[in-house]
Amino acid sequence: MEIADRRVATLHFKLSDAEGRQITSTQGRKPLTYIHGTGSIARGLENALAGKQAGDQFEVTVPPEEGFGKHYPELVQTIPRAQFAGEQVPAVGGKLVAQTARGPLDVVVTSVDDEAIGVDGNHPLAGKPFKASVEVLEVRLATPEELQFGIG
C-alpha cells in the first residue's frame, strides 16, 4: 500500500542541517506515526513521502518554505532582566513562554547577562533547509476514529 491522503504511515527518520549535523532522529526510539495529508509534518517531507511504501528508504532536502518556514527577525528580542525579578531565569537553550498579541509563544533563551535576556521565538530550523533520511516501516488505512481525533 502506498502513502496517500487519509492513510497512516509509520517511519523512522533522521533530520540533519545543511552542514550534515544531526538535529533529531527516531532511531533507537519509537518511530513517527502520522496521518498523511493532514499537514502534521513539514510539507516538503510529506510531499516526498507520497507514493512511498513500507520498506522504502530515501533522502530528501527540504527547503525552508516547505519545512519550518522563514526566519522572522521580530521574534528575536531582548528582554530586560528586571522583568524576571524574583523568578529563576533559564540558562541559554532553556525555554520560556512569552505572551504576545497573538497569544502564548514558546521561545528559546539565546543569551543571558546581568542586564538582559535574549530570546528567539523562531523554530531552530526556520529559514534553513534540512535533509531527511527516511525509512518507511508501515502504511495502512486510517480508522474512522483516527481520522476524527488524530493519532494519539
**Can you give the pLDDT of all 152 residues of the chain as single tens digits?**
999 999 999 999 999 998 999 999 999 999 999 999 999 999 999 999 999 999 999 999 999 999 999 999 999 999 998 887 777 878 999 998 888 888 888 999 999 998 999 999 998 889 999 999 999 999 999 999 999 999 87
CA distance 100 to 103: 5
20: three-class secondary structure by DSSP: coil
- Residue-range definition of the domain harbouring residue 81: 73-120
Three cell numbers written together for 141: 488505512
Tell me: do 98 and 57 sit in the same domain. Answer: no
For residues 6 and 142, the answer to whether their CB atoms sit within 8 Å is yes
pLDDT for 84: 79
Type of residue found at 108: V
Residue 29 Cα to chain centre, angstroms: 17
pLDDT for 85: 75
CA distance 94 to 151: 28
pLDDT for 88: 81
- CATH number of the domain residue 33 falls in: 3.10.50.40
Tell me the pTM: 0.78
Asked if residue 1 belongs to a domain, the reply is: no
Tally of domains in the chain: 2
CA distance 85 to 39: 40
Tell me: do 103 and 89 sit in the same domain. Answer: yes
- For residue 56, give the nearest of 150, 140, 138 by alpha carbon: 138
pLDDT for 140: 98
Asked if residue 2 belongs to a domain, the reply is: no
Tell me: do 134 and 85 sit in the same domain. Answer: no
pLDDT for 87: 77
Type of residue found at 26: T
| Cα end-to-end span (Å), the chain | 22
- CATH number of the domain residue 107 falls in: 2.40.10.330
- For residue 118, give the nearest of 78, 149, 64, 146 by alpha carbon: 78
For residues 69 and 121, the answer to whether their CB atoms sit within 8 Å is no
Tell me: do 95 and 108 sit in the same domain. Answer: yes
pLDDT for 4: 98
